[in-house]
């Protein structure tokens, strides 16, 4: 009977599983993309404020360049003096249009618009206040395709909600499948 190291059987299983996964991924890449998941964010700070923005969305491709999106956003602002904290959670429905179908190594411009609702809670010393608002968000930017199904994204956004507007720059990534 021949000696086999203890790790050889799991190693063989891992190699076989990797080959199977790569063959499935290759066939999946040949198919048209039907969905995408995007995550983006921004962290900014001034002398008196710190702000964190997180944006997540799930999209369904209507055409190779048009995506219907369902989104969630969270804005967190902390003001140093006078002390206050503000959290805004938002949900929206919108669409993103890519000006061309992205290929590996290409920069592809896009525009996006969404309508939604948000809930804002503000805490100050001894006081808590909550409010709801409808929102309109406009974005424009570029996706740099690192593969046929993944990109790094840079965009500028304008979000209008009562009583104020928010503008910023988002950095993120999108995966298509």
27 located within any domain = no
132 located within any domain = yes
pTM value is 0.79
Helices and strands counted in the chain (H then E): 1, 8
13 located within any domain = no
Instruction: Please state the domain count of the chain.
Output: 1
Cα–Cα dist 95/68, whole Å: 4
Q: Which domain holds residue 127?
A: 32-176
pLDDT of residue 1: 44
pLDDT in tens, the chain (177 residues): 444 444 345 545 545 554 454 444 444 444 578 999 999 999 999 989 999 999 999 999 999 999 999 999 999 999 998 899 999 999 999 999 999 999 999 999 999 999 999 999 999 999 999 999 999 999 999 999 999 999 999 999 999 997 788 999 999 999 999
CA max distance for the chain:
79
Cα–Cα dist 41/21, whole Å: 31
Q: Report the CATH number at residue 110.
A: 2.40.160.20
């Amino acid at each position: 009977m021949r000696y086999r190291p203890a790790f050889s059987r799991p190693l063989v299983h891992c190699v076989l599983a990797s080959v199977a996964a790569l063959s499935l991924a290759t066939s999946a890449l040949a198919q048209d993309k039907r969905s995408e998941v995007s995550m983006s964010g921004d962290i900014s700070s001034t002398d008196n404020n710190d702000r964190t923005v997180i944006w997540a969305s799930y999209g369904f491709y209507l055409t190779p360049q048009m995506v219907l999106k369902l989104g969630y956003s969270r804005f967190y602002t902390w003001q140093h003096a006078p002390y206050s904290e503000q959290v805004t959670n938002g949900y929206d429905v919108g669409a993103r249009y890519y000006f061309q179908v992205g290929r590996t190594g290409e920069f592809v411009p896009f525009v996006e618009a969404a309508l939604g609702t948000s809930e804002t809670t503000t805490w100050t010393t001894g006081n808590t206040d909550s409010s709801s608002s409808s929102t309109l968000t406009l974005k424009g930017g570029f996706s740099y395709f690192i593969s046929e199904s993944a990109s790094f994204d840079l965009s500028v956004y304008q979000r209008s909600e009562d009583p104020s507007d928010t503008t910023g720059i988002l950095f993120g990534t999108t995966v298509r499948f």
